[in-house]
Structure 1
Amino acid sequence: MKAKLAALLSLLFASGALMAQTTKPPEPDYTLSANIGAVTDYRYRGISQSRLKPAIQGGADFAHKSGFYIGTWASSIKWIKDAGGDANAEVDLYGGYKFTTGPVGLDVGVLRYLYPGSSMPINPDTTELYIAGTWGPATLKYSHAVTNLFGFADSKNSYYVDLNATFELPWYGLTLTPHLGHQSVNNNSVSSYTDWSLTLGKDFGNGFSASLAYVDTSTDAYRGPAPDLKNLGKATAVLGVKYTYNF
């Protein structure tokens, strides 16, 4: 009898240990994170926003398990001053909803670019609506401006479409992300262009990550105070580091 009882207790303890190992913790109702980092050149859609100089960046994100999310992000910039304005920073506000339909993950949202104190003749603040679809490693995204685009006159309904993919490499935990995009500026076709990049990423754990990207475009975007004009669309390598903290 004692032997049978001991065997039963052993079986119960073993079952409990197995359940403890296989039961996943419940999904949190929401996640909240903040990040800070730096890049050797702030490239956006292939064009330097920092006159080929380093930039400091950071942001915060809130995501609910329902798929709803909001966030903010900011970076130091130089292009507004190069255009005759006064702003030293870009501040982005965004929100959206992520969901799945079959094998495709969808993301729809709105993004507002703000340049506080810009003092430019045409307001560079821009609002875009976007939709993105992810299938396997690839993501196709379409962004549509419902205001003038970054200070271009009469440029409402401009758009940007881009294709990205992320691949896990078999060495050192690296990821490889190729990118191809096209910016169409409405009523200003000479300013429309294509950009592409290839990025190596590394997550070091404990919130630290780094990236090295090769970036190029089809345009020569000369900007800056004369006579110090810079080609902000020329090919370059960009190194970035970031720390992310999850609350």
Structure 2
Amino acid sequence: MHRKPVLAGVSIAAAAFFAPQFAAAQTAAAPEVSPLTANVTLTSLYKYRGQDQDILKDGGSNFKTSAFKPAIQGGFDYAHESGFYFGNWNSSVNWLDGNSIESDLYGGYKFKAGVLDFDVGVLGYLYAGNTAGNTVELYGAMGYTSEAVGTFTFKYSHTVSDDYFNYAGNSGGSGLKGTNTGYFNLAYTKEIVPKLTLKVAGGYTHMSSDIRSLGYKSYWDYSVGASYDFGAGLSLAGMVQGATEGSSYEVTGDNGETLNPNKARFVVALTKTF
């Protein structure tokens, strides 16, 4: 089960792309902006597409659920003036036996067409300690920003790897695939008062036919909250995140405990960008 950043949030590269561009005044040189940025986050719980990313107890097959399982996250982004970008993002996780870190590698191209902003690229999720979870997606996003209304972004991600976060059990010889699993996401952000930004998002995971044949159902996820900008690259976000709690996602460990990783949680995250 996977289970981003989603506070998957907007990447630093994306923020740089959507920021207004102003011509330098003839009497003064425009300040130089570095194409390379970095970020680090401490979050009370890592949820991705509505699902908990920390469910294993003592690194084994026993499961334990909690609203407070801190994770450390961080990465970097390089955004070229041409629109091309690449980056890396990492997080501590605990949902695959023998693995404790997720490392994401991505790259793409951003461009503007009229009043719309577009973003296309590829993203790979890597789990060094247990490669069964490795997943690769292609994605495309379209955004619209209005100072009065806010920013709307629609994104679609399509799985091209043999499995989708090990749901199909492909690496274990199941003969099934997670290829063609799709994820739709619609996000909205708006600064409601100075430095305080409302953030709302909803998503839908459409599992591949092979994964659905195992009894897993496609599901909806949601995130509602806000973030406060303290300045100097420091921000604090708080939001409720979860997903539809279909019984197909319940897991029972050797200890007899049954839990659902889609359960709604209140998540707090402190982020510093450089």
TM-score by length of structure 2 reads 0.75
Match of 2:234 in 1: 208
**42, 49, 55: which one pairs with 2:46?**
42
Matched letter for residue 149 of structure 1: Y
The answer to which of 137-146 and 50-59 deviates more is 50-59
Which has the higher Rg, Structure 1 or Structure 2? Answer: 1
Which of 210, 231, 234 is the aligned partner of 2:260?
231
Aligned to 2:140: 131
Give the distance between the partners of 1:116 and 1:97, measured in 2 at CA.
27
Deviation for aligned residue 1:186: 0.3
Q: How does 1:127-206 map to 2 (within 5 A)?
A: 127-136=136-145, 137-147=151-161, 148-153=163-168, 154-170=177-193, 172-187=194-209, 188-189=211-212, 190-206=216-232
1:222 aligns with 2:250: yes
Structure 1 counterpart of 2:73, from 32, 46, 57: 57
Query: Percent of pairs identical after alignment?
Result: 39
**1:17-68 per-position Cα deviation (integer Å, ceiling 9, x unaligned):** x954xx561665x511111111111010010112342111111111111111
Compute the displacement of 1:191 (Å): 3.2
Unaligned 5+ runs, structure 1: 1-17
> In structure 2, do the counterparts of structure 1 residues 216 and 116 end up closer, same or farther at CA, with 3 Å as the change threshold?
same
- For 2:47, the aligned partner's letter is R
The one-letter amino acid of 2:237's match is: S
Matched letter for residue 211 of structure 1? A
Q: What secondary structure does 1:169 align onto?
A: strand
- What is the aligned-residue RMSD (CA, Å)? 1.8
Partners of 1:33 and 1:63 in 2: how far apart? 9
d(CA) in 1 for partners of 2:85, 2:190: 25
* Aligned partners of 1:128 and 1:143 also within 8 Å: yes
The number of equivalent residue pairs is 217
**CA distance in 2 between partners of 1:222 and 1:31 (Å):** 43
- Other-structure match for 1:244: 273
Please list every run of at least 4 consecutive aligned residues from structure 1 whose deviation after the TM superposition is greater than 6 angstroms. none
Aligned equivalents of 1:162, 1:208: Cα separation in 2 = 26
Instruction: Please state which structure has a larger fraction of its residues in helix.
Output: 1
Q: Which runs of 5+ in 2 are unaligned?
A: 1-24, 56-65, 146-150, 169-176
Structure 1 residues 26 and 126 mapped into 2: Cα distance closer, same or farther (>3 Å)?
A: same
Whole-angstrom CA distance in 2 between matches of 1:152 and 1:231: 15
Paired residue type of 1:25: A
TM-score (norm. length: structure 1) = 0.83
* Letter paired with 2:229: D
Give the 5 Å matches for 1:16-35. 20=27, 23=28, 25=30, 28=33, 31-35=35-39
**How much has 1:223 moved relative to structure 2?**
3.5
Q: Take 2:98 and 2:252, find their aligned partners in 1: how far apart are those partners?
A: 13
